[in-house]
Amino acid sequence: GAVVSQHPSWVICKSGTSVKIECRSLDFQATTMFWYRQFPKQSLMLMATSNEGSKATYEQGVEKDKFLINHASLTLSTLTVTSAHPEDSSFYICSARGRSEHEQYFGPGTRLTVT
């Protein structure tokens, strides 16, 4: 159990366009979802935490208007990178946690390349 999927697994987009990444918990209800970014050879960086039905809480330095997060249901959260720039190219990973869970279950990640 506790499977989290992400779609797409990789995406290439042009500078200035927007990209939406979906994160789904397949077999449990995720009351909290987390979005991370990881640049090559660096550690995970938490971008934001979202609870179902409420606004996401962004970490310091993460632009809310650029990285739009929606957690509309207990099984789906989306991250939209708006007006993407080459420096947004990174590995984006979501994780999900159930109501009584301690563990975060990770999705497989989405590799974004902005040209």
Per rule CB under 8 A, count of chain residues that contact other proteins: 18
With CB under 8 A as the contact rule, the residue among 8, 85, 103, 115 that binds other proteins is 103
Residue type, 81: V
* Residue environment code for 65-94, b if the CB has 16+ CB neighbours within 10 A, otherwise e: eebbbebeebbbbbbebeebeeebbbbbbb
Looking at 22-30, 64-72, 79-87, 101-109, which segment touches other proteins (CB under 8 A)? 101-109
Of residues 32 and 80, the one with the C-beta less far from other proteins = 32
47: left (phi over 0), alpha (psi -120 to 50) or beta: alpha
Report the site for other proteins in 43-72 (rule: CB under 8 A).
Answer: 43-44, 46, 49
Binding site for other proteins (CB under 8 A): 34, 42-44, 46, 49, 91, 93, 97, 102-109, 111
